[in-house]
Structure 1
């Protein structure tokens, strides 16, 4: 998908059906609109096994459709290879960050820079809360945070 000289980013949350596939789709659209999508490898994954094989949450899909962002993803768990093959692993909250740093410590050739996606938020909202038990409004909040953070991340790394 990406050229060998390209960059890569993996978005991660607990189940890979709400926050991380939203971030992945938002970033892919921004990279496409900026004409740089072919320079990036973009994916998302989960720290848990809860939702492996499932599509994104229907509320997240509805939110993305409302914003004209296409979303095609099947939930998967983070692998050891991800730490060796992605430049950036951007996660949503402290629990994801702890889990990822723990997994990365067992990978010999880990090269990924593991960060909170919210660390790129110009509005300084560091944590992107899980909307799973929330309302449509919570998915909208996740979309807005991901849009701000992905824009800043793309600008900083393009």
Structure 2
């Protein structure tokens, strides 16, 4: 039987330890609290997000979108994109919302699977930050995702994982190194995990800054970067995937 895994996080509960969005305790790099354990149930998690359908497999942009463009039935294999930040309440939910909005405008909903996650589980089960949701809504973008931590199966099931900053990317890759020894699976995580800003064309920033402790300008800046990157990302996937979808 194929083994399945889920992420289990261990965070000290002593009141003397400062727990906040940016606490070093909540970084995979600085703490040993992330562990992976067997999850044979393959059931929906308590966050309200169900597992990605098993029919979605990692494949190239071209083959995935070509298949999807010719067959919109249940056998279609959507191209899957996962956006990841620290707590999955500001940047990655916004990236998910922006990309989903652009995909919907192009009528490509059926050929994409879009989700977001965090490198920590501190906000698990919570909606996105209200300030982020408000800023996005002013641009006509709805954010409806619920925070969840990244899990081992994400490395198998998503074609592309986009980290908001370098620390996020490093934490994601460290998590993968912990997991990959438990199961033999041919994944080049270093190529699969990319930086969000690597797709920006109108901005020079190399990372999407965390706006959690900033003012309204920070959330607007995040959305500017994400809109730039997501537009370029979608164009790249479509261009490499299918001329039919690009038309």
- Structure 1 and Structure 2 fold alike (TM over 0.5): yes
**Displacement after TM superposition at 1:4 (Å):** 3.4
**Stretch deviating more after TM superposition (101-110 or 75-84):** 101-110
2:234 maps to 154
**Displacement after TM superposition at 1:132 (Å):** 0.2
**2: distance between equivalents of 1:17 and 1:71?**
10
The partner residue of 2:93 within 12, 21, 38 is 21
**Displacement after TM superposition at 1:111 (Å):** 5.7
The partner residue of 1:142 within 202, 206, 222 is 222
1:118 maps to 197
**2: distance between equivalents of 1:22 and 1:73?**
9
SS at match of 1:132: coil
Preserved contact between residue 26 and residue 69 of structure 1 (Cα < 8 Å): yes
**2: distance between equivalents of 1:6 and 1:18?**
25
The partner residue of 1:129 within 209, 224, 242 is 209
Write out aligned runs for 1:1-158 (5 A). 4-105=76-177, 106-107=179-180, 108-109=184-185, 110=187, 113-122=192-201, 123-158=203-238
**Stretch deviating more after TM superposition (131-140 or 3-12):** 3-12
**Displacement after TM superposition at 1:144 (Å):** 0.6
Ranges in structure 1 where 5+ consecutive residues have no aligned partner: none
Figure out how many residues of one structure are paired with residues of the other and give that number: 158
Q: Which has the larger radius of gyration?
A: 2
TM-score normalised to structure 2 length: 0.61
User: What are the superposed Cα offsets for residues 40-96 of structure 1, whole Å, 9 maximum, x if unpaired?
Assistant: 000000001111111100100110110011111110000000001000000111110
Ranges in structure 2 where 5+ consecutive residues have no aligned partner: 1-52, 57-74, 239-247
Preserved contact between residue 13 and residue 20 of structure 1 (Cα < 8 Å): yes
Preserved contact between residue 86 and residue 111 of structure 1 (Cα < 8 Å): no
C-alpha root-mean-square deviation of aligned residues, in Å? 1.5
User: What are the superposed Cα offsets for residues 79-131 of structure 1, whole Å, 9 maximum, x if unpaired?
Assistant: 00000100000011111010011112232424661000110011231100000
Any runs of at least 4 consecutive aligned residues in structure 1 with deviations exceeding 6 A, and if so which? none
2:60 maps to none
Preserved contact between residue 56 and residue 74 of structure 1 (Cα < 8 Å): yes
**Stretch deviating more after TM superposition (108-117 or 16-25):** 108-117
